[in-house]
Structure formats: C-alpha cells, structure tokens
Amino acid sequence: METRDLKLDGNAIGGLMLELVGSDLTAAISVCGGCGAHEEMARLDVYTGAGIVVRCRHCEAVMIRIVQGRGRSWLDLSGTASLQLDQ
C-alpha cells in the first residue's frame, strides 16, 4: 500500500474537530506555517494511523497533529500560522 492510498481530505476529521473545539472547522480558512498557502480545512490532506496528521496540500508541511488516548486528546496546531473561524 502506498502513502497516497492512505490520504483523505479534511472532511474526514470534521466530526472530530467539532467534538474537540465545539465548532465545524471544515470551511475554516487555515494558513500554512510552511508556505503561507490559504486553504479551507476540508481541502487539506489527512493521514491517519496511531494519530492524525494534517498536511498542507501545497508544500506537504505538517499543519496539525491530533492524538487521542485514555480519555484525553492532544491537539498540536504549531504548523498552522492562523485559522479563521467565522461566527
């Protein structure tokens, strides 16, 4: 199996993000900390395994990491320069 076969789009984590932050983020505009590309979260590349890794579809930089276990969740947004939440 190739890595590209494991790739999903950002819609795949829409429910999880709603659970974690209390808002639907699929339409939220994210800015990549690596290349500065602006993209809706639904259009980012998502890879799942022991955790979830969300990458920029332009430069493949890691933007978001999510790990869950034992009733806890860890959300790392360090690769995301900004995330626009519309009200």
pLDDT of residue 78: 97
**What are the structure tokens assigned to 27, written together?**
């339409």
**What are the structure tokens assigned to 2, written together?**
């190739």
Give the C-alpha separation, 16 to 51, whole Å. 12
- Tell me how many domains the chain contains: 1
In total, the chain counts a number of residues equal to 87
- The domain of 75 spans 3-84
pLDDT of residue 6: 80
Please enumerate in sequence order all residues whose Cβ is within 8 A of that of 21, keeping only pairs 6 or more positions apart, or say none.
Answer: 75
What is the pTM assigned to this prediction?
0.91
pLDDT digits (tens, 9 = 90+) for 16-61: 999 999 999 999 999 999 999 999 999 999 999 889 999 999 999 9
Residues 51/3/56/79 CA torsion (nearest 10 deg)? 40
